[in-house]
Structure 1
Amino acid sequence: VQGGSTAAGFPFYYGGSFADMLEQRLLQSAPERPVEVINTAMAAVNSYTLLDFVDEIIEQEPDIVVIYAGHNEYYGALGVGSTFSLGSSPTLIRLFLSLDHFKTVQALKALLSRIASIGKPAVEEGSGGTLMSQVVGEQSIPLGSRLYQAGLDQFRGNLRRILKRYQKAGVPVYIGTVASNLRDHRPFVSQLAEATDTEQFREAVRALATAEQRGDSVSVLLELVDRLIAIDSLAADPYYTKGQLLLRAGRDPEALDAFIAARDRDQLRFRAPQEINDIIRAEADAFDAVVVETERRLATTAVRGIVGSDLMTEHLHPNVEGYFQLASAFYEQLASDSAVAGWQQTITDDAARSELLVTEIDSRVGEYRIKQLTGSWPFQPAGTLSRYTLPERSEDPIEQISLDLFRRKVPRNVALDALRSEYLKQNNFHDALRATLAVVQRYPFLSSPYVSAASIMVEQRRLDEALLYVDAALDRDSSAEALSLKGSVLLAKGLRAQAIPVLESALQLNPESIPTGYNLAGAYALSGRIADARALVEDILRRDPGNADARRLAESLGR
């Protein structure tokens, strides 16, 4: 996966990203083959970074490349409006990147980075500063201006090179159209053109405000908004107001057009204009890439067919449902194209949604990140130090785990383990399993998370699934814990003959394990090996005289 912060999964990341959701679904659809979705996306990068990664990605011989990018062309690293820009010449910038392996160029980049950061404090909780507020060099890029066109040319040229290289290497590319919050996000910057009669525009604004206060009809208000647009067709706010009025009138298709016009005229260019998607479609067609209409997918599921806060956390980052829809769009296209070898079954949206690995701490940390982002410019007025505050300590154990994770006091795997333990205290096996499976997805090479998942499945009496997970654990590490658990699961399934050698192996690895010895003694007894069972029970009672279960088993065995 290639892209910026949306492709990376901000603000949730991990199970809340569309990449992880897609991987989880593909694993279920093709269970007989290894599936790994590698996410190279990161915040504040644009098509230059994507292009820079292409050769290294090709070296890994991927089956498919998924791209979701386009919002960062102006303010991403080396973008035409970024604080770290080398100008608007794509040729010069690509040359700069191609020389990156030379030590002199690396030193120059480091120097430029230090210069760019002078006077900029580190972004910390409560500081009111964000990466978003630090990357903007040009706060006003009007529609159709030189910089606006330079951003489009930059994207077109880089995307063309990206797709051409993948095509030459024989790597299929699935590229999504980008979506943003149209309905519920007012433009960041709405400015008048230099030639506009400012006083005439202000008079028209006052007339509109007066009409609203009088309670005039929507049709009257629309006429007044159209007058504003006639005075200055490049100002963004009148189009946004028109979209809201058209929604009130029930004229949703026209409202959509007005919201698109408002976004495209927003001079602070964090949201990609419609022309970015036009470029995606044209370049994909030229180089045999598959266009996934992710923007359209979000619109079809949005309230009234216009993407808003029902699918977005702020101006362009999706919420969990929004990310789910992005993942579903890519998944369905891959299924339709039979693009994944070993495909056995198609997972429905309902089934996939019920098994999402977005935990409660992921959701809470995501909320904290959104509060941090929207607490400063450009969501707040420039110069306003808008602090967001979070408690230092919380009586709610899950909130405390979330706070510690957000403040990076603990790594995520430790936080998830604490979350699992908290749920188990509450006998909440469903959410405990979700937290454990989130660790499995992130660290599939570790044995212990599979053992933990299998243990919870045993509590839920999901023995067949537990056996699959404990076998996966044993594939990674033949630990005494995993062998003991497998033996107990086999016993619970009534498979004593299979359970005995497994439990014997577990006991050989850990002779001090009383639970393993007890289970093996029970298996021996049920199999008629009374002497072997008695010897194990007596050994347990020597080490743990108060063990009531072992004493009852000893009494049942007799002398």
Structure 2
Amino acid sequence: MRVWAFRAVILCAPILLLALAEGILRLIPGTGHPPLVLTLASMEGRALKSTNAIFPQRFFQQRYEGALVAGGRMRAQPYLESDRTARYRVVVVGASTVQGYPHPHRLASPAFLAAMLADGFGSRPVEVFNLGITSIASFAVARAVEAALELHPDALIIYSGHNEFYGIYGMSTSPWATQINYELMSWRLPRLIKSAIDWAGGRPVSSGQLLETMARRGQVGLVDERRQMAVEQLTRNLIAAVNACRQAGVRPILCTLAANEEGFAPAESAAPDSSTAMGRIWWQHVEAAHDRLRDGGQGAATIALQRLDAAAELFDDAAWLSFLRGRALRELRQHRLANLAFARARDLDTMPWRAPSSHNVAIRDVARSLDVDMVDVEAAFLSAAQPARPGWELMADHVHPTVSGQILLARALADFILTPEARKELQTDAEYLTRQGHVPAESVGVDQAMAELLAAAPMDRFNRDQSQHFRQRAADRWNRLSAAEQRGAQRWMSHRDEIPLVLDLADQLYADGYFDAALSHYRAARLEAPFTPRGDLWSAVQLGWCARMTGMPPAAVHDELLQALDRTRFVAQAPGVDPAFISFASGSLHHFLGEPEAALVGLERAFLTEGLRQSFLFSLFPLLAEELVATSRLQDARRYATMAAAATDGGPYFPRLVESLAANHERGL
């Protein structure tokens, strides 16, 4: 008996040791998966919370095609939570299309959707959360959906299906292996061991190299079993996501997928072997057709179509041939046949970065079989593109919408959620562009990014002409920017990860005296970086200055300044925020809101902090001087003016400003 007990202890010892190690690791903060929601500050029955930018780390924890992939991106989104608020909350889950790539966060479809729903719901507060994560396939999307239920949404929108072949947790041959791997990595000990192995295995690839890394999975032929596996994987994961929502009492909404069919040439294609006689002839026809189409005109298109017909007699199941046929037929105004050719080219693409039509069929089948709501985004884009297929007007690259496409996607969602009566409150696209702060300089960066994408493998074949078009358009748009906008953009390039581009543009426009333009840019910066010291609070202070410099009535910015003042109390609790900056921001906002006592307290405290005084002197001192003179503290104002002059070049600006304010005060002005 003792022998058997001893053997049992020996057998169980490794398991017990592993369990002990796991238990110890669970006691150490930060060793588990990062949570989706963080609480940043609390006061008076409200909490400042935020979605967690490093939440996606749970999906980026293994090697893909021999490379360790760096953590995927998800934008943190702060928000105020209150039990007293009867809000309507929507969560949008997906990959980079949901994220809004390649545009700023405020120009992504969830941001436009929030603006539209706010119009439709009237006085009821609306929140839309963007849980778009770079490059994830539907398995990871379904896990993100499960986590998103923590936000207690009224509706959860799922846009997924483009990344089944080349996305993270995509193109799996075994769903059970995928699930086991994911669950195993939720344990601390396996993650620690895996991290050590990955650290020893070299540096991870960056997000910018992700496309090239995932492309190493190679082509997916037309009869490759992985095509059917991808459909089954998408179906299985959408069903899991829908069921999770329903069990939580949340309304799930599926979406079909839109893609660039008209403009984006297939990344790869089946084709005859060019070393054979037939292959050489086939390629001669196809290359000749491509060259003729570059010439333009119906005559060239007719000749190109003849060469393509000749090639098709040799081999017709080629994505490139079908795409070129679509271009020729479009030039000849044979729209129905052109549309069929472009759709076929998308399905024949053997490197399917765009979801084949079978994925939309699967999404519709899931919606039908589970009786779940579905927004037909594909139909909305097809309707908007008529008589053509979706192309460069609506799509920035192969699957990511332009800003116009983002609005179209948002409008399709809003039309589905809102009642017919509420839809009457929606504004025009141009009005939403203005509200969300669409600025020309950001379009330059988008064009440059798309030019680089289409010029490099695996996207470059038959897309180089479009790459050159983007490069030229970026140059033309740059040349149309004002000198102030160009200087602001150049300055941003030196610290591009620190603040939004639109904020550097706003600062430069203000410095050069373009106060109206600066005001709209500061508003955009607040949307882009809410609850941040520079993007939100500094921009709000500058809104007050812009309103003053343009002669705008204080009521025009009153609500925005009041909102920013409320946010200062929460931002003040964030780690690393300078208390003197909070004093400066709150004092300035109180001043513009006509609250002199609170303004003077904050402004004087900020001025007496040397580092803050040096950084914000020309914005801080005039407001402080006004408050001091108004409260008959002229001697203090003069003393501070001397300090301000000493901090600059010793010039007379600050003393003269005080004397001018004093003279106006004496005259009752």
Tell me if 1:423 matches 2:509.
yes
Tell me, yes or no, if structure 1 residue 182 matches structure 2 residue 293.
Answer: no
SS in 2 for 1:73: coil
3-state DSSP class of the match of 2:170? coil
Distance in 2 between the 1:541 and 1:220 partners?
A: 83
- Is the Cα contact below 8 Å between 1:303 and 1:310 reproduced in 2? no
> Which whole-Å CA distance do the structure 1 matches of 2:140 and 2:379 have between them?
26
Q: Contact 1:204 / 1:224 at 8 angstroms: preserved in 2?
A: no
Counterpart of 2:111 in structure 1 is 20
Please say if 1:257 is aligned against 2:340. Answer: yes
What secondary structure does 1:427 align onto? coil
| Paired letter, 1:283 | V
Following the alignment from structure 2 to structure 1, what is the Cα–Cα distance between the partners of residues 177 and 434? 49
Check if 1:192 corresponds to 2:285: no
Aligned residue for 1:504?
Answer: 597
Q: Which residue of 2 aligns with 1:169?
A: 248
Stretch deviating more after TM superposition (472-481 or 12-21) = 472-481
1:331 is paired with a residue whose SS is: helix
- Equivalent residue number for residue 50 of structure 1: 141
CA RMSD of aligned residues (A): 4.1
2:443 to 355, 358, 363: 363
Which of 205, 212, 216 matches 1:133? 212
Gapped regions of structure 2 (runs ≥ 5): 1-91, 476-481, 570-582, 608-620, 642-654
2:503 matches 1:412: no
Name the CA distance, whole Å, in 1 between partners of 2:510 and 2:504: 10
Q: Who is 2:540 aligned against?
A: 450
3-state DSSP class of the match of 2:149? helix
Counterpart residue number, 1:496: none
Contact preservation (8 Å) 2:265, 2:461: no
Amino acid at match of 1:160: I
CA distance in 1: counterparts of 2:459 and 2:217, whole angstroms: 16
Residue 518 of structure 1 aligns to which amino acid in structure 2?
A: E
Q: How does 1:221-370 map to 2 (within 5 A)?
A: 222=305, 225-226=308-309, 228-229=311-312, 231-302=314-385, 304-336=387-419, 345-370=425-450
* Larger displacement relative to structure 2 (261-270 or 437-446): 437-446
**Which secondary structure state, in structure 2, belongs to the residue aligned with residue 191 of structure 1?**
coil
Higher RCO (Cα < 8 Å, 6 or more apart): 1
1:553 aligns with 2:664: yes
Spell out, residue by residue over 1:502-539, the C-alpha distance to the aligned partner (whole angstroms, 9 max, x if none).
213323444576645636866xxxxxxxxxx7x45576
1:7 touches 1:41 (CA, 8 Å); kept in 2?
A: yes
CA displacement 1:16-38 (0-9 Å, x = unmatched) = 32222223444455564443332
Please list the CA deviations of residues 134-187 of structure 1 after superposition, one character each: whole Å capped at 9, or x if unmatched.
Answer: 112332212232111111111111111111211222212233222222112221
For residue 38 of structure 1, give the secondary structure of its aligned residue in structure 2. Answer: strand
Aligned partners of 1:201 and 1:228 also within 8 Å: no
Alignment length (residue pairs): 514
Q: CA deviation at 1:2?
A: 1.4
AA in 2 matched with 1:23: A
2:154 pairs with one of 39, 58, 63: 63
Q: Is the Cα–Cα contact under 8 Å of residues 487 and 508 in structure 2 kept in the other structure?
A: no
**Counterpart-to-counterpart distance in 1, 2:193 and 2:587:** 56
Distance 1:77 1:208, change over 3 A: closer
Corresponding residue for residue 377 of structure 1: 457
Are 1:143 and 2:143 matched, yes or no? no
Q: Deviations over 1:93-140 (max 9, x none)?
A: 12322333223542575478679x86986577xxxxx32111123322
Matching residue within 567, 573, 587 for 1:476: 567
CA contact (8 A) 2:586 2:602 kept: no
Can you give the 5+ residue segments of structure 1 that lack an aligned partner in the other structure?
A: 81-86, 125-129, 490-498, 523-532
Change (3 A) 1:33 1:537: farther
How much identity, in percent, do the aligned residues show?
22
How far apart are 1:398 and its partner, in Å? 4.2
- 1:152 corresponds to 2:231: yes
- Cα distance, 1:557 vs structure 2: 6.0
Conserved? CA contact 1:140–1:189, under 8 Å: yes
Q: What TM-score do you get using the length of structure 1 for normalisation?
A: 0.79
Kindly tell me: are residues 237 and 375 of structure 1, through their superposed partners in 2, closer, same or farther at Cα, counting changes over 3 Å? closer
What secondary structure sits across from 1:39 in the alignment? strand
Higher strand share: 2
The residue that corresponds to 1:101 in the other structure is 186
Q: What corresponds to 1:84 in structure 2?
A: none
Task: Tell me: CA distance 1:542–1:333, structure 2 relative to 1, closer, same or farther (3 Å).
Answer: same
Amino acid across the alignment from 1:422: Q
- Distance in 1, matches of 2:275 and 2:504, equals 62
Shift, 1:345, TM fit:
4.1
Shift of 1:200: 4.1
CA distance in 1, matches of 2:623, 2:309: 78
Secondary structure in 2 matching 1:305:
coil
Q: What's the offset of the Cα at 1:11?
A: 1.6
1:513-552 matches, within 5 Å, as: 515=623, 518=626, 535-536=632-633, 540=637, 546=656, 547-552=658-663
Hey, what does 1:89 align to over in structure 2? 174
Write the deviation string for residues 239-287 of structure 1: whole angstroms up to 9, x where unpaired.
1122112112211122111101001101011111111111112212333
